[in-house]
Structure 1
Amino acid sequence: MLLDLVGVVYDGDIPIAGAVAAVERLRKAGLPVRFVSNTTRSPRHRIIAQLAALDVEVADEELLTPARAAIEWLRRHGRQPHLLVHRDLETEFTGLGGGKGRAVVVGDAGEAFDHASLNRAFRELVAGADFLALATNRTFRDADGQLSLDAGAFVAALEFASGRSPVVLGKPSPDFFHSALADLNCPAADAVMVGDDAESDVAGSLRAGLGAALLVRTGKYRPGDETRFDPAPTAVVDDLAAATDWILKARRNAL
């Protein structure tokens, strides 16, 4: 069981109605849960603390973020990062100096996305640095409840200017979903993804081979999202509580 966080479990510091109880129902049913977030502004310790404040206890190994995937990639390939990320995320990459090459790492840098920072990243790419995108989401639901530009637009700008394609480390990368399932002893075909992003969460997980993907009508969801991307959701439900009903019913029917 893979669950997105922002827009599924909570919005800002407020839990979505019924979401905390839904997570508890899944756990009590014996279903292993992994939280898979494309959030690239908050370090993982802050995400875990935020969930704890909502009465959702999450162990470190239960949370997968693009930053963690990037750190593993940098270590595996011996690269030193050139960061174009939110300043709150920079501490996640401490201690990664001394690699034999460089890699541009792009996340949601927020107000740090300006011509100077983008141009520095562009010049690194032209000089031969590897290109890592923490995520390529188009939008996210901002604190004011409206949609805002996410990192995908800036990744696309660097890709266009440099002629280089990035390694995408977060959703919808198949490797990201498979990594989340790796220690669950759960074949992809038996796994279910629940998310509010029809492109990255739903279509991405289905392309990765997951058996089902549920789109919730919370968070960034907008009417008609379910028809905009292929593959289409297995089901569209009101929220995580309704998704849990769907999952538990499907499990009972399979027994």
Structure 2
Amino acid sequence: MNRLRGPIKALLIDLSGTIYIEDAAIPGAIEALKRLRETRIPIKFVTNTTMETRQFLYDTLHKIGFDIQADEIWTSLWAARDLVVSRKLKPYLMLEEAAMADFSDIEFPDGEYDSVVVGLAPSMFDYYNLTKAFRLLLKGAPLIAIHESKYYKKKEGLVLGPGPFVKGLQYAADCKSEVVGKPSPTFFQSALGNIDPRQAVMIGDDVRIDIGGAQELGMQGILVQTGKYRPGDENKISPPPCEVCPNFTHAVEKLLQVIKSS
């Protein structure tokens, strides 16, 4: 296993499953983040969550007790919105109603769709809506996946993410999706700005989406064994994570040791 090294000039931190689950902080995470803030190293919270807007996430995290600013939250939903605007698309949006607020200022005339955007939308993953998307793809509409996570963690256990439905549409329409969020290198780099990825660290609970994607760009990855983590996940990517920690608190301890010694 690789080992964490300095200097560290930026930190990217996943949200759900890494520092909180639904409406509760992972034990110790609030205090650990406070300690991390004392280093003055820039932090961005990068998430593939597509069921809620950035404002909703900000409000939720503040209610839980996290000291996080709205502009520190980097969502794949917001990145998808930027893509739609920049390309002047009229997409068929497979999103939950709560997520539509990020697209509220864009007009999408019914029946004139030229693309398909898929997020985590359980209420949209039925035969009618999937068939509608499938027919658009057959006509040549591009398929844009906000992300392709296989599953995520809720209090009652693991539940399906949008990935299986994106793959199903790809298979049926014989097409490929363009992924906007993690693990896209573009998404990670946009969160880092001008900072060299080799001097940045990603902390997350998904070994492929969080850690594998970040390390492909040249970042260092710390996998936490909370959220969607399953035993043996650290062996599913090559190179493996730089560090594997029981939780976010232990990950912060590792970081503080490296920061102090570099």
Q: Provide the TM-score with structure 2 as the length reference.
A: 0.91
Tell whether the 8 Å contact from 2:207 to 2:233 is kept in structure 1 after alignment: yes
2:39 is the counterpart of 1:29? yes
Candidates 156, 159, 178, aligned match of 1:148: 159
Q: Which runs of 5+ in 2 are unaligned?
A: 1-10
Distance 1:169 1:5 in 2: 17
> Per-residue displacement from partner, 1:158-211 (whole Å, max 9, x unpaired)?
1111111111011101011001101xx52110000000001100111101221x
Tell whether the 8 Å contact from 2:49 to 2:75 is kept in structure 1 after alignment: yes
Tell whether the 8 Å contact from 1:194 to 1:202 is kept in structure 2 after alignment: yes
Equivalences, count? 250
Identity between Structure 1 and Structure 2 (%): 35
Candidates 134, 142, 151, aligned match of 1:139: 151
After superposition, residues 38-187 of structure 1 pair within 5 angstroms as 38-97=48-107, 102-144=114-156, 146-182=157-193, 185-187=194-196
Q: Give 1:24 deviation, angstroms.
A: 1.2
Tell whether the 8 Å contact from 2:143 to 2:178 is kept in structure 1 after alignment: yes
Return structure 1 stretches of 4+ with deviation > 6 angstroms. Answer: 98-101
Alignment-mate amino acid for residue 236 of structure 1? V
Counterpart residue number, 1:222: 230
Q: Give 1:111 deviation, angstroms.
A: 3.2
**Are the structure 2 counterparts of residues 108 and 147 from structure 1 closer, same or farther at C-alpha, using a change threshold of 3 Å?**
same
Tell whether the 8 Å contact from 2:21 to 2:227 is kept in structure 1 after alignment: yes
> Per-residue displacement from partner, 1:208-247 (whole Å, max 9, x unpaired)?
221x100001111111111122331111001111111111
**Are the structure 2 counterparts of residues 95 and 81 from structure 1 closer, same or farther at C-alpha, using a change threshold of 3 Å?**
farther
Q: Which runs of 5+ in 1 are unaligned?
A: none
Tell whether the 8 Å contact from 2:91 to 2:108 is kept in structure 1 after alignment: no
Q: Give 1:148 deviation, angstroms.
A: 1.2
Distance 1:102 1:95 in 2: 18
Alignment-mate amino acid for residue 115 of structure 2? A
